Amino acid sequence: MTNYTDLNTSERILLGPGPSTAHPRVLRAMAQPLVGHLDPQFLKVMDETQELLRFVFQTENELTLPISATGSAGMEAALCNFIEPGDEVLIGVIGYFGERLCDMAARYGANVRKLEKPWGEVIDPAEIEAELKAKPAKIVAMVHAETSTGAWQPVEEISRIVHNYGGLFLLDCVTSLGGLPVKIDEWEVDIAYSAAQKCLSCPPGLAPLTINDRAREVMCKRKKPTSNWYLDLCLLDNYWGDVRTYHHTAPISTIFALREGLRLAYEEGLEARFKRHRKNAELLWAGFEAMGIELHVPVEIRLPTLTTPRIPDGVDDMLVRKRLLDEYNVEIAGGFSQLAGQVWRIGLMGYSSRRENVTLLLAALKEILNSV
Amino acid sequence: MTNYTDLNTSERILLGPGPSTAHPRVLRAMAQPLVGHLDPQFLKVMDETQELLRFVFQTENELTLPISATGSAGMEAALCNFIEPGDEVLIGVIGYFGERLCDMAARYGANVRKLEKPWGEVIDPAEIEAELKAKPAKIVAMVHAETSTGAWQPVEEISRIVHNYGGLFLLDCVTSLGGLPVKIDEWEVDIAYSAAQKCLSCPPGLAPLTINDRAREVMCKRKKPTSNWYLDLCLLDNYWGDVRTYHHTAPISTIFALREGLRLAYEEGLEARFKRHRKNAELLWAGFEAMGIELHVPVEIRLPTLTTPRIPDGVDDMLVRKRLLDEYNVEIAGGFSQLAGQVWRIGLMGYSSRRENVTLLLAALKEILNSV
């Protein structure tokens, strides 16, 4: 017989692009004994989770719920419920997750048009306007906070333009929700999703999603239901809404966890939370500048939640990351695709965004860089 | 400000159709601090989880992994990767989950043929043979253990017939895996899936899935990738296999939990585990018979994991269940659709399958039935 030991993983400090370190209160809530998914006590937990999601999304949208799968499934739900074969979809691609939006949209039969920028830049509202003037689109999709590059896409003006041309505005808020302002109602974002394991300090496994009435109407007027049964928002709406029609068995424990992660955000307050993320990011940036390490994204569009320092010439990317992990228990990530070997990706999200983590990371990096 | 209190749900004894009570060791493993999804320590956890899944599925199938969503997504993955528009699919419908297979298969463009039986019965191999003789099918799908009725579908002979007619045999093992024999290799089941929250005593959120080389070949020869990106097994295979190509962020904590739930099954041994489920179910059945309560499913095809006693005449279904929950913290479920108001559904799965639970449930039911 094989000897499968007790789980004995190290206590890592997660400063990569996600998952971030889960808050201890979140882990404790998750370990609460299960209740049934139709237990009145669990229905109350569902209601509160939806209320708290509306709080972090800054929205009154009724259809606001966590998709029972990871962030990528949130992305897919945001597309598959609205796209019908032959629909025009315009996608802003400023990094890997924009590419993924294109791949998914095409699978559902959309005519995908890409508006691409080099990794590290963002899209100008005028470019969107020019594209829509040339040919309208049913959906315009963008990534608010590009986890692959560290760029922060301004979206308010783009949302206005998309609506002027009669489209739906879809926003990926995976690395922004809970770490920097995401104002769904004020910006009139029609469809948005995120992930639990980034700035909400929860384990991966849930994808918060919100859609407004304009998007809901488009969804309800489809000619055929989406091919994707698990992510069909009409069915999910009946389960999470007043009807409570059984769809799938909700992932009880991760919803316990999400409620706790959201409650932490509620207690801290959004403004204070955003300030904390900003302040710790600025400490990190100052530290890199003092070390003579350049940051890939200009400060005006640099995310506070994900920083991409350029790897100094002659430094072995993999070796540095391995030593950080093995010797300091600190995880950061490398770049990939266009940025492979050129940048590191450092996340300061949720519970990971703490002064002691910044100080430790900078000091550990100095020790490693000075010893090679 | 709303006062969102500490999570304060009751300690329920879950004897419904799932989730079953999570084993305390599973909850403790789940609360382990997160590690990154590409951390070498996590890759080892993934490998061990796959090995242990092969153990409970009794298979050598390389492509054996947990889908990062609940059991329903396992069902969808089992269909969407193999169905192309226009494919013939024959589905045995002996309850609600057979119906769901039909709904999902049709969404992916299959020509669905149903072979239906009244809820509580099972399908005879000769009926499958007659159907396939009349018209072959690319896939024949069945439910091994129907959670909506308590019927246990024999499948070994059916698998042989399906292969004689050149089809793939797909089996839903949601309420069987870990509670009664599921012999994927010996029975030559081509595609199978289950759910973590039934006989494996884990929280809901993962769907174990296994496919053999015959099914893999069909999948790899598709004309077009499946529309479902999140459940695309070609991509998942690259992530869970040796290549480790990033797909989605694995739900670290629920995989910690699943590994522990599987480890418990490994320690107990499959034969001992099946015997325990059988013995406790027989105790329950004897108790009902002593109370003069009839069981809906004949003993020859009755599941040890899910029992459906017929509600005695004049007894208020909802009131009994409410009193069990409120006064004894015991959850059982009612019937639905064809069986609504006619049966209760009582699960004795995984950690819930314990003598003390049977004794408590029977005694509590007696107290309630005698007091009305």
Strand-pair category, A151-152 with A145-146 = antiparallel
Q: Strand pairing partners for A67?
A: A207
**Contact residues, A window 82-101, toward B, CB-based 8 Å cutoff:** 100
Is it the case that residue B29 has pLDDT exceeding 90? yes
Residue-level pLDDT at B242: 84
- The answer to whether A227 contacts B18, with C-beta atoms less than 8 Å apart, is no
Domains of chain B: 13-19+270-371 (3.90.1150.10), 24-266 (3.40.640.10)
- Check the CA dihedral A142-A147-A148-A152 and report its sign: positive
- Check the CA dihedral B25-B27-B33-B38 and report its sign: positive
pLDDT in tens, B94-115: 999 999 999 999 999 999 999 9
- Residues in B touching A29 (Cβ below 8 Å): 7
Is it the case that residue B4 has pLDDT exceeding 90? yes
pLDDT in tens, B180-197: 999 999 999 999 999 999
- Cα–Cα distances in angstroms (integers) from residue B53 to residues A237, B43, B64, in the given order: 33, 15, 7
Residue-level pLDDT at B141: 98
Of B18, B52, B250, the CB nearest to A249: B18
Is it the case that residue B372 has pLDDT exceeding 90? no
Tell me which residue of B328, B327, B345 sits closest to B336, measured CA to CA: B345
Establish whether this prediction's ipTM goes over 0.85: yes
- Residue A14 in contact with residue A305, Cβ under 8 Å? no
- The answer to whether A253 contacts B251, with C-beta atoms less than 8 Å apart, is no
Written as one string, the DSSP assignment of B336-347 is -GGGTTTBEEEE
- Cα dihedral value A266, A267, A271, A272, nearest 10: -150
Residue-level pLDDT at A1: 82
Residue-level pLDDT at A6: 97
- Residues in A touching B249 (Cβ below 8 Å): 18-19, 70-72, 195, 197, 204
A344 — contact with chain B (CB < 8 Å)? no
- Residue B25 in contact with residue B260, Cβ under 8 Å? yes
- Check the CA dihedral B116-B120-B121-B122 and report its sign: positive
Q: Does residue B153 sit in helix, strand or coil?
A: coil
Residue-level pLDDT at A103: 98
Residue-level pLDDT at B243: 85
- Residues in B touching A35 (Cβ below 8 Å): 9-10, 12, 14, 331
pLDDT in tens, B171-182: 999 999 999 999
**Residue of A25, A230, A236 for testing the chain B interface, max B β-carbons within 10 Å:** A230
**What gap in Å lies between CA B120 and CA B136, rounded to an integer?**
27
B27 — contact with chain A (CB < 8 Å)? yes
Is it the case that residue B30 has pLDDT exceeding 90? yes
**Residue of B202, B249, B258, B262 for testing the chain A interface, max A β-carbons within 10 Å:** B249
How far B160 CA lies from chain A's nearest CA (Å)? Answer: 30
Residue-level pLDDT at A242: 84
- Cα dihedral value A92, A94, A99, A102, nearest 10: 0
Burial environment of residue B224 by CB neighbours within 10 A (0 to 12, 13 to 18, 19 or more): exposed
- Residues in A touching B231 (Cβ below 8 Å): 230
pLDDT in tens, B203-241: 999 999 999 999 999 999 999 999 999 999 999 999 998
Residue A190, φ and ψ in degrees, nearest 5: -85, -35
Question: Along the 372 residues of chain A, how does pLDDT read in single tens digits?
Answer: 889 999 999 999 999 999 999 999 999 999 999 999 999 999 999 999 999 999 999 999 999 999 999 999 999 999 999 999 999 999 999 999 999 999 999 999 999 999 999 999 999 999 999 999 999 999 999 999 999 999 999 999 999 999 999 999 999 999 999 999 999 999 999 999 999 999 999 999 999 999 999 999 999 999 999 999 999 999 999 999 888 889 999 999 999 999 999 999 999 999 999 999 999 999 999 999 999 999 999 999 999 999 999 999 999 999 999 999 999 999 999 999 999 999 999 999 999 999 999 999 999 999 999 996
Residue-level pLDDT at A243: 85
What is chain A's alpha carbon radius of gyration, rounded to the nearest angstrom?
21
**Contact residues, B window 196-235, toward A, CB-based 8 Å cutoff:** 197, 203-205, 225-231
B252 — contact with chain A (CB < 8 Å)? yes
Residue-level pLDDT at A350: 98
Confidence of residue B24 (pLDDT cuts 50, 70, 90): very high
Residue-level pLDDT at A118: 97
Kindly give the residue spans of alpha helices, DSSP state H, lying in chain B.
24-30, 40-57, 71-80, 96-107, 125-134, 156-164, 213-220, 233-240, 252-268, 270-290, 317-328, 355-371
- The answer to whether B29 contacts A35, with C-beta atoms less than 8 Å apart, is no
Is it the case that residue B1 has pLDDT exceeding 90? no
Whether the link from the prior residue into B19 is cis, omega within 30° of 0, is yes
A53 — contact with chain B (CB < 8 Å)? no
Whether the full predicted model's pTM is greater than 0.95, yes or no, is yes
- The answer to whether A251 contacts B204, with C-beta atoms less than 8 Å apart, is yes
How far A14 CA lies from chain B's nearest CA (Å)? Answer: 7
